[in-house]
Structure formats: C-alpha cells, structure tokens
Structure 1
Amino acid sequence: MSKTRDTFLSIRRKRIIIIVFAFVLYNLVSYIIDPFSAYWKIYFQRDAFDIFLDLFLNFSFCCFISESSIYLGMQLNHYIPWTKSPYRRLLIETGLNFILVMLAIGFFDFLYRFLEMCEACQNVTSSMSIEMQRGYIQWIVVSVIISFMIIGINTCVYLIDNWKNSEIRAAALDQMAVEAELYSLKLQIDPHFVFNNLSVLSEMILKDQQLGYEYAENFSRIYRYMLVNTKKDIISLDEELRFLKSYIFLIKQRIGDGVTFEVDIEKECLGACLPPLTLQLLVENALKHNKTSRRNPLQICIYNNENDELIVENNLLPIENPMSSSGLGLQNIQRRYKLLWQKGVEIDKSNDIFKVIIPLIRA
C-alpha cells in the first residue's frame, strides 16, 4: 500500500480523474466537431429521462474506454515498458486501443439500437441514415481522440513515476553504499581485527620472514580494496574473488585447519558483477556464528549454478554462547540487491547447512 501512495497519482484517483476527463472531453469534442447536428439541436427538448439515459450511456462508454485503456497500459508496463522499447510500445498500445474502441462502439451501438426498439425510446426515426452515418464517423473520431489522450496521460504518469522511483532508488543506493563504507571502516579500526592480524604478523616475522611478508602484502591488499571499492555500486566477480583470496589467506593463518574453503566458479561467470564486499561479509558472517576446530572444521563453499547465481554455503556448527550480532552485513547485502537488481538474496537454512544464494548481475 505504501508503494501505491508514493506514486504520482494513486490508481483510484487516476481512474476517477481520467474517467471524468474522458466524459467531459467526449461531449465537448462531439459538440465542437458538429454543433449544428440534429442531436444537439433537440438535446434539451427531450424529457429528463431521455437526457439522463443518454448521459448514463455516454458515461458508461467513457468508463469502458478509460478503464480498458488504463488496464492495457498497466499490463504493457510489465511486458513492454516505455523505457525499453518506446516505438514498439507505441505501435502495440495504439493498435490495441483502437481495437478496443471499435469493439466498444460495436457493443454500445447494439445497445442503442436495442433501446430504440423499446417503447420508451421511440422518438428516434429510421429516416436519418445520412445523419446516422455522420454520427458514426463522429463517434469513432471522438472515441479514438479520447483513447489517444488517455494513452498520453498514462504515459506521462508512468514516466513521472519511473523518474521518481529512479531518484528514490539512487538515494537508497547511496545510503547503502555509505552503510557498507562505514561497516568496512568499522572493521578497519576494530581493535580485535587489527590486533589479531598484527599479532599473527609479528609471530610470522619471527618464525618465517617470507610468510610474514606475504601476510603483510595480503593485509595491505584488503585495506586498499576496502578504501577503493566500497563506494562503488557493483564490482566484477573476478575482482571480488581476488580480494577474497587475500582475505582467506589471513583467515587461514589465524585459524588454521579450523576452517576450510572451497571456491569453484566457472570462468563464464567471472565477468558478472555483485556489490563489493559481498563475499567477505558472508564469510565473516559464517565465521562469527560457527565454531572452528581441527576435529570438526567449518566448511565454507562458494560456487555458481546454472541459473547465473552464486551460492555461499557452510555447515552449521553453532557457537554455544554466540556474540550479539546486529546483522548489518547480511541486511546490507539484501537491501542493496533489491535496489540494484530488483531481486532478493535467498537464504536457505536447514538442520546442518546454511546457504545464501546471490543473483549475479550482468552489466
């Protein structure tokens, strides 16, 4: 409901306004085209019931034209949006609206003829064939004009709504990027993160200078990646995996055989994109909520499937007294995906497996 209220015109308001507009325009254009026709000359000479019946039928006709045009436009917005195929959309919507107008004219013409046969409607004679032909032509012209006007209104409303939604999405994406950046900065200045890595680094330098050098190199790559890429909306999977490789190196040096990693990504998927730090946040989420021991190691697997999706899964080894978690990392990924790709991140949790399914973005 909130999404409907945020649109330029709500569906109900839009329909009421368009129907009233179509009804007024129908009568106004009909009069302007032929103000001296017999229909308008005797219009106010008829009794009140005939005038009311005529207005009711005209209003019903305008309701049908308006509602069918609005419904058709809403359906086409899903399959052929104006922003993707404007010329094709124009041809299809114009053609379908013209067909609907002709069907409506045929139906209401049958209804008028039926009413003329009733005793209450015997005031119309059958000797006005030329006048009736002119009336039919005028009816078709006015109906087509109204239909095209409604198409124009629907198009303007759609484009305005689309523009507003794009602005909202852009603002939300900026907010998500800021949150991701703040989260990464928080990680960078986290005393535990820095202290643990520096402690491991100092021990390595004393034991194995070459390994200590490699550790320092990977440590610096992680910081550099965070500083450069956290403000981006998306990044290639290839770059993210290179960053993850450095991150895994640090984890393995700290935890050892308590965690194992298996990364199996097809080469065809490396050009696809995803929000930066996605894999790092998911790996960190798995480490934060599970035990890591040599006897029963935490197993983290990262692979793709045939649906152009990335799967990050781990076996469940829940910590007995888990630390309180804000869930910011996983929530940030889910919200950014909905804004970027209009698709959510799937989370599948069973008795022994926790799985996160991430759609890959094709730029």
Structure 2
Amino acid sequence: MMPLVSVRDLKRHYDIRLTGGLFGRRAKLKAVDGVSFDLKMGETLGLVGESGCGKSTTAKLVLGLIPATSGTVSFDGSAVTAAHDAQWRHMRRRMQMIYQDPLGALDRRLPVSAQIGEPIAVHEPHVPADEREARVGEIMTSVGLRADQAASYPHELSGGQRQRVVIARALALQPDFIVCDEPVSALDVSIQAQVLNLLEDLKERNGFTSLFISHDLKVVRQMSDRVAVMYLGMIVEEGPPEDVFHAPMHPYTQALVSAIPTPSRRGKRERIVLEGDPPNPVNKPSGCPFHPRCPSAMSECREFQPMLASHGSRKVACHLRPAPSAGLIAAE
C-alpha cells in the first residue's frame, strides 16, 4: 500500500553569518540533514529527541510551511512544496497542525467559535453561516468543550481548554494528516493526560494519520505506532515503540531510555550519562555526528557517516552492528 506521507532525504540548511561586516565569515546551520520516513494511512509516527535536534523544523518542512534545501515530501502521491499555490491550498486542507503553545496559536481578539470555524470559512466558503455554526458546535462537543464556551475568548479559558480549541480547529476540515508539535508540553501533568486521552479517542474515531513530536519518551510510547529518534538533524533509530524502548540499539537511544524514571525496579538498568553537549549544528563533526559523545566510538565512526540500515524490526544508523540493550521501561 502506498504511504500517505513519504519523506526522502529531507534537508534544511540555513546560511548564517559568523562575523559582522559585508565580507563576514559565513557558515551553514544544518537544522535537518537527510531525514527519510514513510507514514501509512491511520499510522502515528513519534518523533523524539533533545531540544534543537530538528523535530519542529521537520514538521514545518513536511507541511510545506518552509522550503526545503533539498529532498522531497509527497502527500497522497503529490509533491509538497513551499509554493503556496492553488494545489498547495487544496492539499493543505487535508493536512493540519496542533501547536505547542495554545495561547500563542490562537487570536486573542476573536471568540473561540470564530477561530474553530475559520478553516471552514476559508476552504469551504459555500457553506452557509448557520451550517458552519452547527458544525463548530459539533466539533466543540467532540473535543469536550461546552456550548456556552463558544463566545469565550482564549484568555478566559484554562490551558487545557485552549488546547482543546486548537485541536478542534485542526479537526474542522476532517483532515487526513495531523502534525502534533509538542501538543502537551505547555500543560500541567494532570491536564496532559486528559489531552492525550482525547487525541487517542479522536484518532480511533476519525482514523487520521499523525506525526507526533515530543521530547517526552513516555508520551511518545503511549501515542505512537512507530518511533523515530532524532539527533542533530538526523534519524538514528526507528522502529516499534515496544522494541525501541525495551531494547534500544543506537547508543544515543540507549542513553535517552536509561534516563526515563520508572516506578518499578523490574528491568531497571544503570543510567548512561553522556559527556558534553550536542555539537553545534553549524560545525557538525565528521563521520557519525554522535561520535564525540559516544562511549563506544571507533575510528570508523570519526571518518564515515553511518547509513540508516534495517536491523530486524528496526532501522539504525550505527557502525557498531548494533545489538539490543535492555531498556528501562518495563512492559505493562
């Protein structure tokens, strides 16, 4: 079956000036540096990694919000580009985004009903106002908002309620693909669970495909059918959550998983502490980008960049012919 979303060797490099003046020294910041993945209809891919690894930039590239330096993105067989023409607008109604900061994503000057109904007004201008209002009411009910909150402004709602408005707006056109960019990181822990459960219920009910971005591995495990781990603009491991989290192969994934707190001692392993900070994406190291922090780095790692290769149920970018390492998250 042809994937709904297909990403191939996607790159986004930024030209930056290191020193001032007209003839100042310039360099390239490699925010995304060769990302590839596929998403089947109804599937959720969790994209996880440290802050600054390129997750949100990847999301914007996939939706065509910013242009790629190179590589391709296709949606349902058609190329996604940053040229916001009629074809892109037609495609865009089938692709929506749930943002990290609900207050920043909403217009503080408009009541929430107007903001939820705005995608319908833009993409389906032929729909009468009363029908649009009825659809907005149905969508609000589906995400757990009350009818009397339709006239409320964003600042009058709680953080969880604002995020439900953002979700409702993303669902207004019944999209096939939704990008969730850290959708619960700005919320209290108790509210996070409510929003995550809502997203799971909506996915089961509507059957949409999603790219779920987070730095929280436990959240990604809950929400994803597959997980891709990013490091310095590249995917270093990809596979089913139960495999990636219970027996990580890449040394970076092993370090991430070892840091996850667990209430049980069953399957618990020693914490792997990485030395140093992630390299500057302006001055990426040669070979494997992880080798300066990798406790198992070899001379080969310093010279050659490993390709993302299949290892059973997973793909791993490592020269070590990776063997699974016992993870921290016990099966539940």
Coarse TM-score class (shorter-chain normalised): under 0.3
Compare the two structures and name the one with the higher strand fraction.
Answer: 2
State TM-score, norm by structure 2: 0.25
